[in-house]
């Protein structure tokens, strides 16, 4: 499981975009949660954490791997 801190999300539409971006990364089995309130995303699978960060950034938000 990989946890990301995501900044810049303000609404459900933002969370949906981040969810779709993460789900498209090779190796993602499941996007467990994207929380606007906590500013985080949790992903299951074997995806490269750097690829997850890039996917979020390409969707217009900032991200960093927490764990």
Contacts of 43 (CB under 8 A, 6+ apart): 1, 2, 3, 4, 22, 25, 28, 30, 31, 32, 52
Q: What is the pLDDT of residue 67?
A: 80
What's the pLDDT tens digit per position in 5-62?
999 999 999 999 999 999 999 999 999 999 999 999 999 999 999 999 999 999 999 9
Q: What is the pTM of this model?
A: 0.94
């Amino acid at each position: 499981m990989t946890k990301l801190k995501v900044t810049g999300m303000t609404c459900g539409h933002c969370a949906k975009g981040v969810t779709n971006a993460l789900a498209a990364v090779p190796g993602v089995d499941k996007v467990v949660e994207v929380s606007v309130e906590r500013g985080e995303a949790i992903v299951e699978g074997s995806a490269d954490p750097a690829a997850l960060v890039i996917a979020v950034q390409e969707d217009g938000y900032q991200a960093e791997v927490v764990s």
